Amino acid sequence: MKLNPRQQQILLAIIKEYIDTAEPVGSRTIARKYKLGVSPATIRNEMADLEEMGFIEQPHTSAGRVPSERGYRYYVDYLMQRYSLSPEEEDLIRQEYTRKVRDIGLLLQRTGQLLSQLTHCASVVQSPKLEVGSYKHIQLVEMSPGRAMLVIVMDSGMIQHQMIDIPTSITGSDLTTISHVLNAKLGGSTVETIKITLLKEIYLELTRHRQILDMVLEALRSSSASVSEDKIYLGGLFNILSHPEFHNVEKVKTLLSLLEQENLLANLLAQINQPGINVRIGGEMSCREIQDCSIVTATYEIGGQPIGYLGVLGPIRMDYAKVISVVDCMTKNLSYALERLFKGGGR
Amino acid sequence: MKLNPRQQQILLAIIKEYIDTAEPVGSRTIARKYKLGVSPATIRNEMADLEEMGFIEQPHTSAGRVPSERGYRYYVDYLMQRYSLSPEEEDLIRQEYTRKVRDIGLLLQRTGQLLSQLTHCASVVQSPKLEVGSYKHIQLVEMSPGRAMLVIVMDSGMIQHQMIDIPTSITGSDLTTISHVLNAKLGGSTVETIKITLLKEIYLELTRHRQILDMVLEALRSSSASVSEDKIYLGGLFNILSHPEFHNVEKVKTLLSLLEQENLLANLLAQINQPGINVRIGGEMSCREIQDCSIVTATYEIGGQPIGYLGVLGPIRMDYAKVISVVDCMTKNLSYALERLFKGGGR
DNA sequence: TGTTAGCACTCTCCTCTCTTGAGTGCTAAC
DNA sequence: GTTAGCACTCAAGAGAGGAGAGTGCTAACA
């Protein structure tokens, strides 16, 4: 379906105007504001064609035109011009990412807040999925009689801990011994490469402590299973309430109840997220609750490895040009910040 | 201001009916549904008195009566009967808390969800503020040349970790040595009781590693400062949208924007939360954004020590009897679950 | 003196009608 | 191919009228 240049101009004008005002756009408005050098009547003719091709729609006969999902898709793919962040916006971002970060959670949360603030939409930020990697250090610490903490450090920088019950006969120095053996034998192995022979060796060396070994190995196994924590930070939900399309409380309710079900949301986003910047418009997503929304996501990475995504969720009538720029920019900034945090170098 | 028994009965009836229907309550309704043995006319007379005393209000002359905040307060303090959880509700709670918990965050989040589900209100759950306590174990793990992870385990079960830059000349065994000395010297000390003499001893023993020691001690110090993480888990926000008082999007927006500002919310809740069960009704809170809501909170504890609070937030017209029972019950269950998790005993 | 029936009065809410205005499609002229 | 003109459509808002719920007041009753 090819559009001639004038049709493209008119479609672009309708979309820009509608994103701005949230009101159906009439032929006169376009003729007045976007000097195309033709009269409203001509524009009307072209609009009739655009409607026939499915790029715009009419809420009712005597209203102006509104972009259809197909129209937005055409806009995003062919018409849209890159938005350049204003100096103030760039400042805001730079300010955030030159801070010293202590807590990753806080960093992700503030990233989400910034995304929302800049786009006036809701934001989603997935916590990084660190590769599990290989065991770097294993430590058993006696907490109280019959109770120990197992601390596991992986070479990816991931750390996990877990309380386990132990026989009360075990002493602190026993735990140190066990820790030493485990480190010596398992250090450098990945979760998958723990061989039976290796386990046999460990059992041989620690025959006295079979019982506690079983517990520790079980804990190691289960901890590697629970790695995919996959937390999603939501931010700026109240922003979407400002958009007139969400003045209907029922809509807000269905949307909110979806967002609060973290696993559903995670599935949806995982489905959407591909390498690069992803734009999903309304019905392009197969999820009923979110048909009135569009989502823009992108993947952030450490050392070239994708480890998570972030994105923006708003009404279909969102400012795609700006949202895409912001998402792109924030992805790069977050990647860089995480890289510094994990791989070191500079402060 | 004393109420005679009949006035109390009528006030109780008005509040029950209004909580149920969200509609102003008329004298005929009360006469019909709550057999007080008097005619609507008599009830009208009493209602006029109750209104004069400020316990109920009239939205407009030809409407029924609505409880005022003062009326709710009287109800909560004197009239309300304890609500007993239904067997299904008790089952639901028991089911949740007999699961094996791995992650505290998950436990708190699910607690919030349960609170919301049972009360049809939004929930807030503060993460436990573990006492810092004394150092149980300190470990430096080499991650890559020039980069190490410092792991700190406190006897309260709190664990913290942090990446630090180290001179590239330092080897893995250097780090082990340093860890040993730190454990030997600092183990059992609290953050406050680290004396200068102790530090001098450490520096003496590790003169070769002054540089890295400075870093580690700095990290120890700053980590104890960042302990008060004070995360608040929100849940079931969409629930409050079901209540007719939140069909106004503006109200929802102000409320949501307050809830998303975690520090503001934390301040507010800290102000509210006293030992025992706290009920704050609308204007009793000095926060403008939340004047249309009531909050019920309570404190959970480990071993008798209060370590956090949880609560329910909903419209002023909430079912206080039920909410209070649920909050009370969940507080006890959460306390018990955390106790098992930290102090051990039974699985 | 407390209680009740009766009644006029008030005020919201719903429905219906009418008007206004924005915008369209079609036709004929340029 | 473009444009002016015109009849037509439809949503939204204003206004009027009626229904209904509930009240306060008065007078009668126990």
How does pLDDT run across A11-25, given as a tens digit for each residue? 999 999 999 999 999
CA B63 to CA B43: how far, in whole Å?
15
Q: What is the mean pLDDT of residues B43-62?
A: 95
Tens digit of each residue's pLDDT (9 = 90 or more) over B196-255: 777 888 888 888 788 888 888 887 777 666 555 678 999 999 999 999 999 888 899 999
Nearest to B206 by CA among B185, B172, B177: B177
How many Cβ atoms are within 10 Å of B207's Cβ, its own excluded? 8
How many Cβ atoms are within 10 Å of B347's Cβ, its own excluded? 7
Contacts of B160 in chain A (CB under 8 A): none
CB A61 within 8 A of CB A72: no
Q: Is the Cβ of A136 closer than 8 Å to some Cβ of chain B? A: yes
Contacts of A238 in chain B (CB under 8 A): 252-253, 256-257, 260
How many Cβ atoms are within 10 Å of A227's Cβ, its own excluded? 16
Between chains, do B139 and A136 touch, taking CB under 8 Å as contact?
no
Element (H, E) at A252: helix A249-260
CA B158 to CA B104: how far, in whole Å?
11
Between chains, do A157 and B149 touch, taking CB under 8 Å as contact?
yes
The pLDDT of residue A224 is 65
Domain B87-129+230-343 in CATH: superfamily? GAF domain (3.30.450.40)
Tens digit of each residue's pLDDT (9 = 90 or more) over A282-333: 999 999 999 999 999 999 998 888 999 999 999 999 999 999 999 999 999 9
For chain A, the average pLDDT equals 90
What would the two tokens of residue A325 be? 């720029």
Tens digit of each residue's pLDDT (9 = 90 or more) over B60-106: 998 999 999 999 999 999 999 999 999 999 999 999 998 877 778 88
Q: Is the Cβ of A92 closer than 8 Å to some Cβ of chain B? A: no
Domain A87-129+231-343: state its class: alpha beta
Residue A241: partners with Cβ closer than 8 Å, 6 or more residues away: A252, B249, B252, B253, B256
Between chains, do A159 and B162 touch, taking CB under 8 Å as contact?
no
The pLDDT of residue B74 is 98
Residue B21: partners with Cβ closer than 8 Å, 6 or more residues away: none
Q: Is the Cβ of B249 closer than 8 Å to some Cβ of chain A? A: yes
Q: Is the Cβ of A252 closer than 8 Å to some Cβ of chain B? A: yes
CA A54 to CA A18: how far, in whole Å?
16
CB B110 within 8 A of CB B96: yes
CA B246 to CA A144: how far, in whole Å?
50
CA A125 to CA A120: how far, in whole Å?
15
Tell whether the model's pLDDT for residue A60 goes beyond 80. Answer: yes
Contacts of B151 in chain A (CB under 8 A): 137, 139, 151, 153, 159
* Coil, strand or helix at B82: coil
Instruction: Report residues 47-106 of B contacting strand D, contact meaning Cβ closer than 7 Å.
Output: 47-48, 51, 58, 61-65
Tens digit of each residue's pLDDT (9 = 90 or more) over A134-144: 889 999 999 88
pLDDT category of residue B347 using cuts at 50, 70 and 90: very low
What share of chain A has pLDDT > 70, as a percent? 97
CA–CA min distance B144, chain A (Å) = 8
Between chains, do B137 and A139 touch, taking CB under 8 Å as contact?
yes
What share of chain B has pLDDT > 90, as a percent? 62
What would the two tokens of residue B109 be? 């989040």
Residue in chain B nearest A255 by alpha carbon? B238
Q: Is the Cβ of B159 closer than 8 Å to some Cβ of chain A? A: yes
Domain A5-79 carries which CATH code? 1.10.10.10
Contacts of B229 in chain A (CB under 8 A): 103
| More confident site: B309 or A188 | B309
The pLDDT of residue A106 is 87
Domain residue spans in chain B? Answer: 5-79, 87-129+230-343, 135-225
Q: Which of A252, A255, A264 to mutate to test the interface with B (most CBs of B within 10 A)?
A: A252
Q: Is the Cβ of A340 closer than 8 Å to some Cβ of chain B? A: no
Residue B310, CB, strand D, below 7 Å = no
Between chains, do B347 and A256 touch, taking CB under 8 Å as contact?
no
Residue A124: partners with Cβ closer than 8 Å, 6 or more residues away: A112, A232, A233, A234, A235, A265, A269, A297, A310, A311, A312, A313
Radius of gyration of chain B (CA): 27
Contacts of A117 in chain B (CB under 8 A): none
How many Cβ atoms are within 10 Å of B163's Cβ, its own excluded? 16
Nearest to B168 by CA among B144, B141, B138, B139: B144
Tell whether the model's pLDDT for residue B116 goes beyond 80. Answer: yes
The DSSP secondary-structure symbol of A4 reads -
The pLDDT of residue B225 is 60
Residue A35, CB, strand D, below 7 Å = no
Q: Is beta strand A293-302 parallel, antiparallel or unpaired with respect to A305-315?
A: antiparallel
CA–CA min distance A88, chain B (Å) = 23
CA–CA min distance A139, chain B (Å) = 9
Segment among A167-171, A251-255, B122-126, B218-222 with least mean pLDDT: B218-222
Instruction: Report residues 39-78 of A contacting strand D, contact meaning Cβ closer than 7 Å.
Output: 39, 41-42, 45, 59-63
Tell whether the model's pLDDT for residue B346 goes beyond 70. Answer: no
Chain A residues 94-113 within an 8 A CB cutoff of chain B: 102-103, 105
Q: What is the mean pLDDT of residues A74-96?
A: 95
Tens digit of each residue's pLDDT (9 = 90 or more) over A88-125: 999 999 999 988 777 788 899 999 999 999 999 999 99
The pLDDT of residue B226 is 57
CB B216 within 8 A of CB B178: yes
* Chain C: bases < 7 Å from a protein Cβ: 3-6, 9-12, 21-27
Between chains, do A344 and B144 touch, taking CB under 8 Å as contact?
yes
Torsion angle of the four alpha carbons B258, B262, B264, B267, in this order, in degrees rounded to the nearest 10: 130
Tell whether the model's pLDDT for residue B1 goes beyond 70. Answer: no
CA B77 to CA B295: how far, in whole Å?
15
Supply φ then ψ for residue A280, to 5 degrees.
-120, 125
Residue B40, CB, strand D, below 7 Å = yes
In A104-248, alpha helices (H):
104-119, 172-186, 196-205, 210-225, 237-240
Domain A135-225 carries which CATH code? 3.30.390
The pLDDT of residue B167 is 85
How many angstroms separate the CA of B63 from the C1' of C15? Answer: 21
CB B66 within 8 A of CB B59: yes
Q: Is the Cβ of A88 closer than 8 Å to some Cβ of chain B? A: no
